[in-house]
């Protein structure tokens, strides 16, 4: 049996309770719940699969972090499939983001409270669309300080939460497409296709500046990653039902 994938369309099919039946590993497309970290999902699935397969330890990892306040596709790799994580992470990703103009936060999303207010009444759908082409292609993007970037061996978010300010170096990313779906002032719904390493929170911040205002990310769904879609991703509850041990 080759690499086994678990998605919505085949989640009702029973798994063989012998990990040796999956020599190339298992890849699961999970719809990450709001408020969960990517590590939370990994730990939950690791615990469930070890009980289901009756093994003391199984390698489990993810192919690309998704922020706690985001939902959507989180690719989980089990067993030998963990070797594919880097390849899957390198593939194009798609998001639908809610960006709220008129106020900013230190984390560029709703993790932290609003720290400043700005005018936004002048912003229109047409003015937004006129600025979007400037965000396309390869660009140097400054990550949020509340991120997993390493600074002198420490996670940037740990330093930020401790009140230590460290300037982050720009990262080279690629924005393939941006589509303004709707604008109901002050909230823009934006569809984004981008490379790995892109921070949608940074796009929200930079777009706020470009619109002569301020902005933060108020909602985020990763709709596609590594060829997997959110519509065909399984929930944690789906996996618990699939891997029942009683």
Catalytic residue numbers? 67
Task: Say if CB 155 and CB 149 are below 8 A apart.
Answer: yes
Q: Which residues pair with 94 in a beta bridge?
A: 193, 224
Residue where the block lists tokens 């639908």? 96
181, two tokens: 């779906």
The Cβ-side half-sphere exposure at 93, using a 13 Å CA radius, reads 28
Q: Which residues pair with 42 in a beta bridge?
A: none
Q: How far apart are CA 10 and CA 27, in angstroms?
A: 12
Q: Which residue has the tokens 């589509």?
A: 179
Greatest Cα-to-Cα distance within the chain, rounded to the nearest angstrom: 61
Residues 6+ apart with CB under 8 A from 131: 207, 210, 211
Beta strands (DSSP E) in the chain are 4-6, 26-32, 60-62, 71-78, 93-101, 103-104, 116-117, 137-141, 150-151, 154-155, 171-184, 187-194, 215-225, 228-229
């Amino acid at each position: 049996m080759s690499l086994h994938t678990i998605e919505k369309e085949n989640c009702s099919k029973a798994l063989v309770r012998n990990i040796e039946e999956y020599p190339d590993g298992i890849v699961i497309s999970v719809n990450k719940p709001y408020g969960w970290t990517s590590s939370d999902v990994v730990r939950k699935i690791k615990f469930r699969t070890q009980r289901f397969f009756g093994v003391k330890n199984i390698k489990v990892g993810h192919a690309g972090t998704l922020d706690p306040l985001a939902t959507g596709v989180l690719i989980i790799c089990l067993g030998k499939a963990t070797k594919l994580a880097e390849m899957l992470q390198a593939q194009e990703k798609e998001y639908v983001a809610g960006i709220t103009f008129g106020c900013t936060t230190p984390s560029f999303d709703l993790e932290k409270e609003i720290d400043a207010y700005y005018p936004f009444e002048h912003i229109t759908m047409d003015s937004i669309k006129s600025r979007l082409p400037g965000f396309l292609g390869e660009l140097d993007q400054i990550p949020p300080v509340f991120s997993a970037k390493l600074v002198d061996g420490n996670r940037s978010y740990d330093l930020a939460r401790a009140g230590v300010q460290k300037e982050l170096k720009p990262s080279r990313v690629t924005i393939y497409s941006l589509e303004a779906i709707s604008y109901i002032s002050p909230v823009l719904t934006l569809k984004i296709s981008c490379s790995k390493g892109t921070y949608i929170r940074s796009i929200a911040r930079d777009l706020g500046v470009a619109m002569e205002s301020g902005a933060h990310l108020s909602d985020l769904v990763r709709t596609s990653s590594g060829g997997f879609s959110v519509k065909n991703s399984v929930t944690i509850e789906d996996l618990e039902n699939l891997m029942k041990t009683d």
